[in-house]
Amino acid sequence: MKLSDIGERSLVELARRICKLGPRVEVGIGDDAAAINIGDRYLVVTTDMLVASTHFPPGTKAEQMGRKAVAVNLSDLAAMGAEPLGLVFSVGLPRDLEVGFVRRMIRSMDAATRGYGAYVVGGDLDESEEIIVTGAAFGLANKGRLLTRSGAKPGDIIAVTGNLGAAAAGLKILLERLPARGYGELVRAQLEPIARVREGMSLAKCGYATAATDVTDSLAANLWQVSKMSGVKSIIDRARVPVHPLALKFAERHGFEVEEFALFGGEDFELLFTVRPEGWRRVQLALKRIGTPVAAIGHVERGRGVYIGREGKLERLPDRGYEHFKV
């Protein structure tokens, strides 16, 4: 059996079964980040690797590599409702790479991290055949306010921040070298994602969110993760899923299915979360105060699986999105 036969998610489950939880580990392998009990709070830790040939489309600038490396790591902390403190990076670089390129990448890492209220505090450098950037982010979360994928309850509202589909549409433009004029926002969504750190902290502070994750694999795949880990049934309404207007325009113009971008595309780095109905209004107001739109797209029921409603008909939503090792 090869890795291509089982995929990334099965490998994560394999690691989860092998690695034992220590007495101070509140959340271990399988969530957006790990949480370790350090007394009155949790130390929240995550890591993410970016490999040039996989994660950086041709033409990606050094500054964009640096900013994305920061965002993908801090997005995991955001999904847990944690306040970021710092990041360390292990970077593999080809020996013939220009020093100026590396300087710009490091400067962008530093500037982006400070923009989120944290700092780059260390790391490691090594030689490799292509650019590889592995980040590890750590932050703090208050007890009783930690967000995980496993807390959704029947009756909860399913919600998502922002709009979906922009990053996937941007990737389509880059990979197929389609005209980008008028679609710069889509390309930037792919190359320069923004982590919803303030939003995650706000959700945790409100106290009404019951589960959360970031939309990286796809809305469908990430909702399946929450549903499986929470042991619940999730139902969303297609008409209520917020699609980025430029992604919709791009899809219509070029004959693409916009659902492929919004439901199955991934890398939007929005927050997908569930919230108790009585707290929905407060969550809306809290996110409005920081200028972030939010949409209720469905609800949680007893049972299993993920379903989507289209024009009065309910159908099972495929558990599909980006997954390493699979075609």
Q: pTM, whole model, 2 decimals?
A: 0.95
CA atoms within 13 A on the CB side of 71: 22
CB neighbourhood size of 149 (10 A): 24
pLDDT of residue 144: 92
* Structural domains in the chain, sorted by start: 3-142 (3.30.1330.10), 157-316 (3.90.650.10)
pLDDT of residue 327: 54
DSSP class per residue in 188-240: HHHHS----HHHHHHHHHHS-EEEEEE-SS-HHHHHHHHHHHHT-EEEEEGGG
Which token pair is 183?
């679609």
Phi-psi region of 7 (alpha: psi -120 to 50; beta: other; left: phi over 0): left
| Residue-level pLDDT, tens digit, the chain, 327 residues | 898 888 888 888 889 899 998 999 999 999 999 999 999 999 999 999 999 999 999 889 999 999 999 999 999 999 999 999 999 999 999 999 999 999 999 999 999 999 999 999 999 999 999 999 999 999 999 999 999 999 999 999 999 999 999 999 999 999 999 999 999 999 999 999 999 999 999 999 999 999 999 999 999 999 999 999 999 999 999 999 999 999 999 999 999 999 999 999 999 999 999 999 999 999 999 999 999 999 999 999 999 999 999 988 999 999 998 777 765
DSSP class per residue in 150-198: T---TTPEEEEES-BSHHHHHHHHHHTT---TT-HHHHHHHHS----HH
pLDDT of residue 276: 98
pLDDT of residue 12: 86
Sign of CA dihedral 217, 114, 50, 52: positive
pLDDT of residue 324: 74
The secondary structure of residue 65, as a DSSP letter, is H
Task: Return d(Cα 100, Cα 327) in angstroms, integer.
Answer: 35
Q: For residue 229, which of 35, 28, 38 has the smallest C-alpha distance?
A: 28
